[in-house]
Amino acid sequence: MARSTRDIDLEKPVTLEEDAAVAALPRRSRLGTFSSLRHADYRYLWTGTLFMSAGQWIQQVTLGWLLYDLTGSSVLLGMLNGIRALPFLVASPITGVAADRMDRRKLILTTQYILIITAVSMGLLVARGYLMVWHLFAFTAITGVTWAFVDPARQSLVPALVPREDLVNAVALNSAAFNLTKVIGPSLGGALIVFSGAAGNFFVQGAAYVGVLLSVYWMTIPPTPPEARRTSALANLKEGLVYVWSNPAVFALMTAALVPRIFAVPYQTLMPVFQKDVLKVGPEGLGILLAAPGLGAMLAGLMLATLANRVRRQGVLMLVSLVALGIMLNLFSWTRSFPLALLSLVAVGGCQMFYMATTNTMLQVIVPDHLRGRVMSIYALDRGLMPVGSLMAGVSAHLVGAPATVGGMGLLVILLALLVAWLAPVVRRLGLSSED
Protein backbone atom coordinates (compact mmCIF):
# COMPACT_ATOMS: atom_id res chain seq x y z
CA MET A 1 0.00 0.00 0.00
CA ALA A 2 1.40 3.38 -0.96
CA ARG A 3 2.25 5.84 1.74
CA SER A 4 4.02 9.14 2.06
CA THR A 5 7.40 9.57 3.69
CA ARG A 6 5.59 11.86 6.15
CA ASP A 7 3.81 8.78 7.53
CA ILE A 8 7.16 7.29 8.49
CA ASP A 9 8.22 9.96 10.94
CA LEU A 10 6.14 12.84 12.24
CA GLU A 11 8.68 14.26 14.67
CA LYS A 12 9.72 16.98 12.23
CA PRO A 13 8.12 18.39 9.12
CA VAL A 14 9.63 17.43 5.80
CA THR A 15 10.56 20.35 3.59
CA LEU A 16 9.63 20.47 -0.07
CA GLU A 17 13.34 20.38 -0.92
CA GLU A 18 13.84 17.18 1.09
CA ASP A 19 10.73 15.60 -0.46
CA ALA A 20 12.12 16.36 -3.91
CA ALA A 21 15.48 14.89 -2.98
CA VAL A 22 13.87 11.74 -1.65
CA ALA A 23 11.69 11.33 -4.73
CA ALA A 24 14.71 11.84 -6.97
CA LEU A 25 16.45 8.74 -5.66
CA PRO A 26 15.87 5.67 -7.87
CA ARG A 27 13.37 3.06 -6.80
CA ARG A 28 14.66 0.00 -8.58
CA SER A 29 17.19 -0.90 -11.20
CA ARG A 30 19.06 -3.83 -12.56
CA LEU A 31 22.35 -4.78 -10.95
CA GLY A 32 25.21 -2.94 -12.58
CA THR A 33 28.54 -2.61 -10.79
CA PHE A 34 29.99 -0.25 -13.39
CA SER A 35 26.79 1.27 -14.77
CA SER A 36 27.90 4.89 -14.32
CA LEU A 37 31.02 4.24 -16.43
CA ARG A 38 28.85 4.05 -19.53
CA HIS A 39 28.83 7.86 -19.45
CA ALA A 40 32.00 9.00 -21.22
CA ASP A 41 32.57 12.18 -19.23
CA TYR A 42 32.22 10.35 -15.93
CA ARG A 43 34.71 7.72 -17.19
CA TYR A 44 37.25 10.51 -17.65
CA LEU A 45 36.53 11.86 -14.17
CA TRP A 46 36.83 8.39 -12.62
CA THR A 47 40.08 7.67 -14.46
CA GLY A 48 41.40 11.01 -13.24
CA THR A 49 40.48 9.99 -9.68
CA LEU A 50 42.62 6.87 -10.06
CA PHE A 51 45.61 8.89 -11.25
CA MET A 52 45.17 11.65 -8.68
CA SER A 53 44.74 9.41 -5.64
CA ALA A 54 47.65 7.19 -6.74
CA GLY A 55 49.85 10.28 -6.92
CA GLN A 56 48.69 11.38 -3.45
CA TRP A 57 49.46 8.05 -1.78
CA ILE A 58 52.88 7.80 -3.43
CA GLN A 59 53.58 11.36 -2.31
CA GLN A 60 52.64 10.68 1.32
CA VAL A 61 54.96 7.68 1.52
CA THR A 62 57.80 9.57 -0.12
CA LEU A 63 57.50 12.71 2.00
CA GLY A 64 57.35 10.71 5.24
CA TRP A 65 60.35 8.62 4.27
CA LEU A 66 62.42 11.65 3.24
CA LEU A 67 61.58 13.66 6.35
CA TYR A 68 62.39 10.84 8.75
CA ASP A 69 65.56 10.01 6.82
CA LEU A 70 66.71 13.64 7.08
CA THR A 71 65.72 14.31 10.69
CA GLY A 72 64.85 11.09 12.52
CA SER A 73 62.06 13.08 14.22
CA SER A 74 58.60 11.59 14.77
CA VAL A 75 57.45 15.01 16.00
CA LEU A 76 58.20 16.54 12.60
CA LEU A 77 56.32 13.68 10.95
CA GLY A 78 53.26 14.62 12.98
CA MET A 79 53.70 18.26 12.05
CA LEU A 80 53.92 17.34 8.37
CA ASN A 81 50.60 15.47 8.59
CA GLY A 82 49.09 18.50 10.31
CA ILE A 83 50.28 20.78 7.50
CA ARG A 84 48.64 18.43 4.99
CA ALA A 85 45.27 18.64 6.76
CA LEU A 86 45.36 22.33 7.73
CA PRO A 87 44.27 23.76 4.32
CA PHE A 88 41.00 21.80 4.49
CA LEU A 89 40.27 23.32 7.90
CA VAL A 90 41.23 26.90 6.97
CA ALA A 91 40.55 27.28 3.25
CA SER A 92 37.69 24.88 2.48
CA PRO A 93 34.80 27.40 2.70
CA ILE A 94 36.70 29.75 0.35
CA THR A 95 37.49 26.96 -2.11
CA GLY A 96 33.80 26.04 -2.20
CA VAL A 97 32.94 29.60 -3.23
CA ALA A 98 35.52 29.32 -6.01
CA ALA A 99 34.01 26.02 -7.18
CA ASP A 100 30.55 27.63 -7.46
CA ARG A 101 31.70 30.91 -9.05
CA MET A 102 34.57 29.99 -11.37
CA ASP A 103 34.74 27.98 -14.56
CA ARG A 104 35.27 24.51 -13.08
CA ARG A 105 37.25 23.32 -16.09
CA LYS A 106 39.75 26.17 -15.79
CA LEU A 107 39.92 25.76 -12.02
CA ILE A 108 40.72 22.03 -12.20
CA LEU A 109 43.23 22.52 -15.03
CA THR A 110 45.03 25.26 -13.11
CA THR A 111 45.35 23.11 -10.01
CA GLN A 112 46.74 20.22 -12.05
CA TYR A 113 49.43 22.41 -13.59
CA ILE A 114 50.42 23.53 -10.09
CA LEU A 115 50.63 19.92 -8.88
CA ILE A 116 52.71 18.87 -11.89
CA ILE A 117 55.16 21.77 -11.54
CA THR A 118 55.64 21.30 -7.80
CA ALA A 119 56.12 17.51 -8.12
CA VAL A 120 58.73 17.86 -10.86
CA SER A 121 60.48 20.66 -8.94
CA MET A 122 60.73 18.46 -5.84
CA GLY A 123 62.08 15.61 -7.93
CA LEU A 124 64.82 17.87 -9.29
CA LEU A 125 65.70 19.12 -5.78
CA VAL A 126 66.05 15.56 -4.49
CA ALA A 127 67.93 14.31 -7.56
CA ARG A 128 70.47 17.16 -7.40
CA GLY A 129 70.99 16.85 -3.65
CA TYR A 130 69.58 20.29 -2.79
CA LEU A 131 66.68 19.09 -0.65
CA MET A 132 66.17 20.75 2.73
CA VAL A 133 63.58 20.07 5.43
CA TRP A 134 61.69 23.30 4.76
CA HIS A 135 61.21 22.22 1.13
CA LEU A 136 59.13 19.27 2.33
CA PHE A 137 56.90 21.49 4.47
CA ALA A 138 56.51 24.10 1.72
CA PHE A 139 55.67 21.42 -0.85
CA THR A 140 53.10 19.85 1.51
CA ALA A 141 51.47 23.24 2.19
CA ILE A 142 51.24 24.12 -1.52
CA THR A 143 49.78 20.76 -2.53
CA GLY A 144 47.42 20.80 0.47
CA VAL A 145 45.96 24.15 -0.57
CA THR A 146 45.73 22.95 -4.18
CA TRP A 147 43.82 19.80 -3.19
CA ALA A 148 41.50 21.91 -1.03
CA PHE A 149 40.57 23.85 -4.19
CA VAL A 150 40.27 20.92 -6.56
CA ASP A 151 38.30 18.56 -4.28
CA PRO A 152 34.97 20.46 -4.10
CA ALA A 153 35.20 21.27 -7.81
CA ARG A 154 35.62 17.60 -8.75
CA GLN A 155 32.94 16.41 -6.33
CA SER A 156 30.43 18.95 -7.60
CA LEU A 157 30.94 17.56 -11.11
CA VAL A 158 29.61 14.07 -10.36
CA PRO A 159 25.86 14.92 -10.43
CA ALA A 160 26.44 16.95 -13.59
CA LEU A 161 28.06 14.02 -15.44
CA VAL A 162 25.68 11.17 -14.57
CA PRO A 163 21.87 10.99 -14.35
CA ARG A 164 20.34 10.70 -10.89
CA GLU A 165 19.68 6.98 -11.25
CA ASP A 166 23.45 6.40 -11.52
CA LEU A 167 24.53 8.83 -8.80
CA VAL A 168 24.89 6.28 -5.97
CA ASN A 169 26.84 4.00 -8.30
CA ALA A 170 29.12 6.87 -9.38
CA VAL A 171 29.91 7.93 -5.79
CA ALA A 172 30.58 4.32 -4.80
CA LEU A 173 32.91 3.75 -7.77
CA ASN A 174 34.80 6.94 -6.92
CA SER A 175 35.31 5.62 -3.40
CA ALA A 176 36.38 2.23 -4.73
CA ALA A 177 38.94 3.88 -7.02
CA PHE A 178 40.37 5.90 -4.13
CA ASN A 179 40.64 2.84 -1.90
CA LEU A 180 42.15 0.70 -4.64
CA THR A 181 45.03 3.15 -4.84
CA LYS A 182 45.11 3.27 -1.01
CA VAL A 183 45.95 -0.45 -1.08
CA ILE A 184 48.40 -0.29 -3.99
CA GLY A 185 49.85 3.24 -3.70
CA PRO A 186 51.83 2.98 -0.43
CA SER A 187 53.46 -0.32 -1.34
CA LEU A 188 54.20 0.98 -4.84
CA GLY A 189 55.71 4.15 -3.37
CA GLY A 190 57.95 2.11 -1.06
CA ALA A 191 59.08 -0.16 -3.90
CA LEU A 192 59.87 2.83 -6.11
CA ILE A 193 62.06 4.35 -3.38
CA VAL A 194 64.04 1.10 -3.27
CA PHE A 195 64.43 0.70 -7.03
CA SER A 196 64.61 4.26 -8.37
CA GLY A 197 65.13 6.49 -5.36
CA ALA A 198 62.88 9.13 -3.82
CA ALA A 199 63.48 11.56 -6.69
CA GLY A 200 61.90 9.13 -9.13
CA ASN A 201 58.73 9.04 -7.02
CA PHE A 202 58.13 12.75 -7.57
CA PHE A 203 58.49 12.29 -11.32
CA VAL A 204 56.00 9.41 -11.15
CA GLN A 205 53.62 11.73 -9.29
CA GLY A 206 54.06 14.34 -12.00
CA ALA A 207 53.23 11.72 -14.64
CA ALA A 208 50.10 10.69 -12.69
CA TYR A 209 48.95 14.31 -12.56
CA VAL A 210 49.51 14.60 -16.32
CA GLY A 211 47.03 11.72 -16.63
CA VAL A 212 44.52 13.74 -14.59
CA LEU A 213 45.18 16.76 -16.80
CA LEU A 214 44.45 14.81 -19.98
CA SER A 215 41.24 13.38 -18.53
CA VAL A 216 40.00 16.93 -17.81
CA TYR A 217 40.86 18.09 -21.34
CA TRP A 218 38.83 15.22 -22.79
CA MET A 219 35.80 15.88 -20.55
CA THR A 220 32.84 18.01 -21.52
CA ILE A 221 32.18 19.93 -18.30
CA PRO A 222 28.83 21.73 -17.93
CA PRO A 223 29.10 25.45 -17.14
CA THR A 224 28.86 26.63 -13.57
CA PRO A 225 25.31 27.70 -12.61
CA PRO A 226 25.11 31.51 -12.82
CA GLU A 227 23.34 32.11 -9.47
CA ALA A 228 26.53 32.46 -7.39
CA ARG A 229 28.07 35.07 -9.71
CA ARG A 230 25.14 37.46 -9.22
CA THR A 231 26.40 38.44 -5.76
CA SER A 232 29.79 38.99 -4.12
CA ALA A 233 32.10 36.19 -3.02
CA LEU A 234 31.52 37.16 0.61
CA ALA A 235 27.76 36.92 0.09
CA ASN A 236 28.29 33.50 -1.51
CA LEU A 237 30.24 32.33 1.52
CA LYS A 238 27.52 33.53 3.88
CA GLU A 239 24.82 31.93 1.72
CA GLY A 240 26.56 28.54 1.89
CA LEU A 241 26.99 28.67 5.66
CA VAL A 242 23.38 29.79 6.20
CA TYR A 243 22.10 27.02 3.92
CA VAL A 244 23.97 24.33 5.88
CA TRP A 245 22.86 25.77 9.23
CA SER A 246 19.20 26.17 8.26
CA ASN A 247 18.64 22.88 6.41
CA PRO A 248 17.96 20.15 9.01
CA ALA A 249 18.99 17.23 6.78
CA VAL A 250 22.22 18.81 5.56
CA PHE A 251 23.20 20.05 9.03
CA ALA A 252 22.59 16.59 10.50
CA LEU A 253 24.68 14.93 7.80
CA MET A 254 27.51 17.45 8.27
CA THR A 255 27.48 16.93 12.03
CA ALA A 256 27.42 13.17 11.69
CA ALA A 257 30.38 13.33 9.29
CA LEU A 258 32.56 14.56 12.15
CA VAL A 259 32.04 11.32 14.08
CA PRO A 260 34.31 8.94 12.11
CA ARG A 261 36.96 11.58 11.36
CA ILE A 262 37.51 12.40 15.04
CA PHE A 263 36.58 9.16 16.81
CA ALA A 264 37.17 6.37 14.27
CA VAL A 265 39.75 7.16 11.56
CA PRO A 266 42.52 8.08 14.09
CA TYR A 267 42.80 4.39 15.03
CA GLN A 268 45.22 4.18 12.09
CA THR A 269 47.81 6.25 13.96
CA LEU A 270 48.00 3.51 16.60
CA MET A 271 48.78 0.70 14.15
CA PRO A 272 52.52 0.64 15.00
CA VAL A 273 51.56 0.07 18.66
CA PHE A 274 49.26 -2.83 17.77
CA GLN A 275 51.86 -4.30 15.42
CA LYS A 276 54.69 -4.30 17.95
CA ASP A 277 53.13 -4.51 21.41
CA VAL A 278 49.68 -6.07 21.00
CA LEU A 279 49.77 -8.44 18.02
CA LYS A 280 53.56 -8.92 18.24
CA VAL A 281 54.25 -9.24 14.52
CA GLY A 282 57.22 -8.00 12.53
CA PRO A 283 57.50 -4.79 10.49
CA GLU A 284 55.98 -6.53 7.47
CA GLY A 285 52.82 -6.98 9.53
CA LEU A 286 52.44 -3.22 9.85
CA GLY A 287 52.07 -2.79 6.09
CA ILE A 288 49.43 -5.51 5.99
CA LEU A 289 47.54 -3.93 8.90
CA LEU A 290 47.53 -0.56 7.14
CA ALA A 291 46.39 -2.08 3.83
CA ALA A 292 43.54 -4.17 5.28
CA PRO A 293 41.03 -1.27 5.77
CA GLY A 294 41.71 -0.09 2.23
CA LEU A 295 40.94 -3.55 0.89
CA GLY A 296 37.68 -3.63 2.84
CA ALA A 297 36.72 -0.19 1.61
CA MET A 298 37.43 -1.14 -2.00
CA LEU A 299 35.33 -4.31 -1.76
CA ALA A 300 32.51 -2.41 -0.04
CA GLY A 301 32.64 0.25 -2.74
CA LEU A 302 32.20 -2.36 -5.46
CA MET A 303 29.37 -3.97 -3.47
CA LEU A 304 27.58 -0.65 -3.04
CA ALA A 305 28.10 0.15 -6.72
CA THR A 306 26.52 -3.19 -7.63
CA LEU A 307 23.53 -2.79 -5.32
CA ALA A 308 23.34 1.00 -5.58
CA ASN A 309 19.82 1.38 -6.91
CA ARG A 310 18.46 -1.47 -4.80
CA VAL A 311 19.31 0.43 -1.60
CA ARG A 312 16.31 2.68 -0.95
CA ARG A 313 16.97 3.62 2.68
CA GLN A 314 20.20 5.55 2.34
CA GLY A 315 19.84 7.26 5.72
CA VAL A 316 19.23 3.99 7.55
CA LEU A 317 22.22 2.42 5.75
CA MET A 318 24.40 5.32 6.86
CA LEU A 319 23.41 4.95 10.52
CA VAL A 320 23.70 1.16 10.50
CA SER A 321 27.16 1.43 8.90
CA LEU A 322 28.24 3.85 11.61
CA VAL A 323 27.08 1.51 14.39
CA ALA A 324 28.77 -1.43 12.65
CA LEU A 325 31.98 0.61 12.40
CA GLY A 326 31.98 1.05 16.17
CA ILE A 327 31.37 -2.66 16.71
CA MET A 328 34.22 -3.65 14.39
CA LEU A 329 36.60 -1.21 16.11
CA ASN A 330 35.75 -2.93 19.41
CA LEU A 331 36.35 -6.35 17.89
CA PHE A 332 39.75 -5.22 16.63
CA SER A 333 40.66 -3.79 20.04
CA TRP A 334 39.85 -7.06 21.82
CA THR A 335 41.58 -9.53 19.52
CA ARG A 336 45.14 -10.74 19.97
CA SER A 337 45.03 -12.91 16.85
CA PHE A 338 46.69 -11.43 13.77
CA PRO A 339 44.32 -13.10 11.24
CA LEU A 340 41.25 -12.00 13.20
CA ALA A 341 42.69 -8.49 13.52
CA LEU A 342 43.07 -8.35 9.74
CA LEU A 343 39.49 -9.51 9.18
CA SER A 344 38.16 -6.94 11.63
CA LEU A 345 40.17 -4.18 9.91
CA VAL A 346 38.80 -5.22 6.51
CA ALA A 347 35.31 -4.89 8.05
CA VAL A 348 36.25 -1.50 9.56
CA GLY A 349 37.26 -0.22 6.13
CA GLY A 350 34.06 -1.57 4.57
CA CYS A 351 31.80 0.02 7.18
CA GLN A 352 33.63 3.32 6.87
CA MET A 353 33.23 3.28 3.09
CA PHE A 354 29.49 2.53 3.29
CA TYR A 355 29.04 5.39 5.74
CA MET A 356 31.04 7.96 3.78
CA ALA A 357 29.62 7.02 0.37
CA THR A 358 26.01 7.17 1.51
CA THR A 359 26.60 10.50 3.28
CA ASN A 360 28.20 11.92 0.12
CA THR A 361 25.35 10.66 -2.06
CA MET A 362 22.64 12.14 0.14
CA LEU A 363 24.37 15.53 0.15
CA GLN A 364 24.73 15.42 -3.64
CA VAL A 365 21.02 14.69 -4.01
CA ILE A 366 19.72 17.25 -1.52
CA VAL A 367 21.94 20.25 -2.34
CA PRO A 368 20.99 22.40 -5.37
CA ASP A 369 23.56 22.75 -8.17
CA HIS A 370 24.48 26.37 -7.49
CA LEU A 371 25.37 25.60 -3.84
CA ARG A 372 27.01 22.21 -4.28
CA GLY A 373 30.63 23.41 -4.35
CA ARG A 374 30.23 25.39 -1.14
CA VAL A 375 28.41 22.62 0.70
CA MET A 376 30.91 19.94 -0.36
CA SER A 377 33.79 22.18 0.73
CA ILE A 378 32.19 22.62 4.17
CA TYR A 379 31.74 18.85 4.24
CA ALA A 380 35.51 18.56 3.68
CA LEU A 381 36.22 20.55 6.86
CA ASP A 382 36.19 17.29 8.80
CA ARG A 383 39.50 16.33 7.16
CA GLY A 384 41.14 19.24 8.92
CA LEU A 385 40.01 17.83 12.26
CA MET A 386 41.74 14.47 11.77
CA PRO A 387 44.98 15.65 13.44
CA VAL A 388 42.91 16.59 16.50
CA GLY A 389 41.50 13.07 16.66
CA SER A 390 44.97 11.58 16.14
CA LEU A 391 46.39 13.68 18.98
CA MET A 392 43.55 12.61 21.29
CA ALA A 393 44.11 8.97 20.35
CA GLY A 394 47.86 9.25 20.97
CA VAL A 395 47.42 10.84 24.40
CA SER A 396 44.77 8.29 25.39
CA ALA A 397 46.94 5.37 24.23
CA HIS A 398 49.78 6.71 26.37
CA LEU A 399 47.52 6.86 29.43
CA VAL A 400 45.35 3.74 29.14
CA GLY A 401 46.87 1.74 26.28
CA ALA A 402 46.06 1.33 22.61
CA PRO A 403 43.44 -1.47 22.92
CA ALA A 404 41.41 0.44 25.51
CA THR A 405 41.67 3.59 23.41
CA VAL A 406 40.36 1.95 20.24
CA GLY A 407 37.64 0.15 22.21
CA GLY A 408 36.55 3.46 23.71
CA MET A 409 36.56 5.06 20.29
CA GLY A 410 34.27 2.30 19.02
CA LEU A 411 31.83 2.82 21.89
CA LEU A 412 31.77 6.57 21.25
CA VAL A 413 31.02 5.99 17.57
CA ILE A 414 28.07 3.72 18.48
CA LEU A 415 26.68 6.16 21.03
CA LEU A 416 27.02 9.16 18.69
CA ALA A 417 25.36 7.24 15.84
CA LEU A 418 22.40 6.44 18.08
CA LEU A 419 22.30 10.07 19.20
CA VAL A 420 22.13 11.28 15.59
CA ALA A 421 19.36 8.76 14.84
CA TRP A 422 17.37 10.04 17.83
CA LEU A 423 17.91 13.79 17.48
CA ALA A 424 17.79 13.96 13.66
CA PRO A 425 14.93 11.72 12.44
CA VAL A 426 15.11 13.50 9.07
CA VAL A 427 18.29 11.48 8.37
CA ARG A 428 16.37 8.21 8.77
CA ARG A 429 13.85 9.35 6.15
CA LEU A 430 16.45 10.18 3.51
CA GLY A 431 16.62 7.64 0.75
CA LEU A 432 13.03 6.49 1.06
CA SER A 433 10.99 6.62 -2.10
CA SER A 434 7.60 8.28 -2.04
CA GLU A 435 5.95 4.90 -2.12
CA ASP A 436 6.49 1.85 0.02
Q: Assign residue 101 the CATH number of its domain.
A: 1.20.1250.20
140 assigned to some structural domain: yes
Task: Please indicate, yes or no, whether the overall pTM of this predicted structure exceeds 0.85.
Answer: no
Which pLDDT does position 22 carry in this prediction?
A: 42
229 assigned to some structural domain: yes
390 assigned to some structural domain: yes
Structural domain of 400: 5-429
Summarised one tens digit per residue, pLDDT across range 324-347 is 999 999 999 998 888 999 999 999
434 assigned to some structural domain: no
More confident residue, 290 or 170: 170
Count of structural domains, the chain? 1
Q: Are 125 and 202 in contact (CB under 8 A)?
A: no
377 assigned to some structural domain: yes
Which pLDDT does position 284 carry in this prediction?
A: 65
435 assigned to some structural domain: no
What is the Cα 316 distance to its own chain's centre?
20
Summarised one tens digit per residue, pLDDT across range 70-101 is 887 766 776 787 788 788 877 777 888 888 88
Q: Are 436 and 7 in contact (CB under 8 A)?
A: no
- Range with lowest mean pLDDT among 41-45, 148-152, 341-345: 148-152
241 assigned to some structural domain: yes
More confident residue, 176 or 404: 404
145 assigned to some structural domain: yes
Q: What does the alpha-carbon distance between residue 173 and residue 365 come to, in Å, rounded to a whole number? A: 17
Q: What does the alpha-carbon distance between residue 244 and residue 253 come to, in Å, rounded to a whole number? A: 10
